[in-house]
Amino acid sequence: MTRFWCECAWLGGADVAPRVLIEVDGDRVASIEVGVEPPAGAQRLRGVVIPGLANAHSHAFQRALRGRTHGARGSFWSWRDQMYALVDALDPDLMLALARATFAEMALAGVTVVGEFHYVHHGPGGVPYEDPNAMGAAVLQAAADAGIRVTLLDACYLFGGPGVAATGAQVRFRDEDADAWAQRVAGLVERPGVRIGSAIHSMRAVDPEAAGVVAVWAADRSAPLHAHVSEQPGENDQCLEAYGDSPTTVLADAGALSARFTAVHATHVTERDRALLGAARACCCLCPTTERDLADGIGPARGLRDSGARLAVGSDSQAVIDLFEEVRAVELDERLATGVRAQHAADELLDAATAGGYASLGWDDGGVLRAGALADFVAVRTDGVRLAGAPEEQLVDALVFSAAAADVGDVVVGGRVVVRDGCHVSIDVPRELAAAIKEVGL
């Protein structure tokens, strides 16, 4: 039994609890006591302790683009060409190095589980590696090395656009058909710290029949199913022209929508789309730092929640790895779009960044601090410049609207300390990031 004593902890709701003792047995929380003094031998966690943060949408390799694409005039579509140039440089060894360093950066930011939306499957020219899941295996090893949980959301990708053959870097993404995708994914095995999920890359890259195959695969395994949905108006236009309806409706008709489904972005969904997602109790993962970097737009988070959908957040392109920034931007960006403040309470936003993301990734027993839950939690320092002087009765508000990744002091995953006093226990993160990005050679 391991004991962690917290100066205070967020156990849900609008307030924090003082002097909290968390007892851990194996990788689970055995008990939680409030209002106790630190017992002998307990590890002390300074600041406010919260459940581990869940990064529900990540493309780890895109970390190499940070600082290289942001000043280029254009749109999502021109940025995509720059991303494809990066894809051309990747192999399993480089994917491992980039993902390991990126996941370690996430750990420093308080991320304890990541959903890796994985679509770079094959070698140059689309030729499969000897191990057809070599790239996915590299991602799984990277997460294990970094000490965080991972759900590998292996993406089915068949076309370069509706009815259009994949070309250039896209051929590294594609499988021959949905059955070939399923056969390949069958070689991926779950293990402690690893879940295998599924993804429909988008209704630009997968036709309705293939989407149905992926949906059945996920349903048969009770696995998470994610899809890029309505990130761009052009995506909606292509889907309407090819299939006669919106991406959400086409996915619904294919049987993809359920409580295990996550619509990533959902930026340009219609009222009918929101109703479909809400009726299914689907999750919607917003990635505001990427959506604003790529000029995608501002998603209707309040409308999605009102429809019955749940929320999660993700770092997506790794323009920033800071889930505090992602989750407060859900509220702040919507304020800009609507002229109305406080559409989401701070505790609701923090829940989206923790329990909401965990559920989206198939870890329903995580993202909360309670007996029986996964022992994944984060200590956020309150004595730095951003949180100094924050009143205890408004500490949840201060966390959501003022804290940053740099305030994370300690990170525990499955009862094991992964980050201590702001430093990763086994990885020199800046050095490894620099080395991996230099190897890319952009």
Catalytic site residues? 265, 316
Tell me the C-alpha distance between 156 and 118, whole Å: 9
By CB neighbour count within 10 A (0-12 exposed, 13-18 middle, 19+ buried), where does 210 fall? Answer: buried
Q: Print the SS3 string covering 118-160.
A: ECCCCCHHHCCCCCCCHHHHHHHHHHHHHCCEEEEEEEECCCC
Cβ-contact 388, 352 below 8 angstroms = no
Q: Which helix (H) or strand (E) holds 402?
A: helix 395-402
Encoded tokens for 110: 């308080």
Task: List the alpha helices (DSSP H) in 194-322.
Answer: 208-221, 233-243, 247-253, 271-279, 288-293, 301-307
Tell me the C-alpha distance between 321 and 154, whole Å: 22
Strand partners, 95: none
Tell me the C-alpha distance between 247 and 235, whole Å: 8
Which position has the token pair 């209002």? 35
Cβ-contact 261, 397 below 8 angstroms = no
Tell me the C-alpha distance between 289 and 353, whole Å: 14
Tell me the C-alpha distance between 380 and 354, whole Å: 14
Tell me the C-alpha distance between 406 and 135, whole Å: 30
Residue 2's CB is within 10 A of a number of other CB atoms, namely 17
Tell me the C-alpha distance between 223 and 239, whole Å: 26
Task: List the alpha helices (DSSP H) in 16-171.
Answer: 76-87, 92-108, 134-146
Residue 196's alpha-carbon distances to 143, 156, 204, 258, in angstroms, are: 13, 13, 23, 17
Backbone φ and ψ of 286, nearest 5°: -95, 145
Tell me the C-alpha distance between 367 and 286, whole Å: 17
Encoded tokens for 390: 């924050």
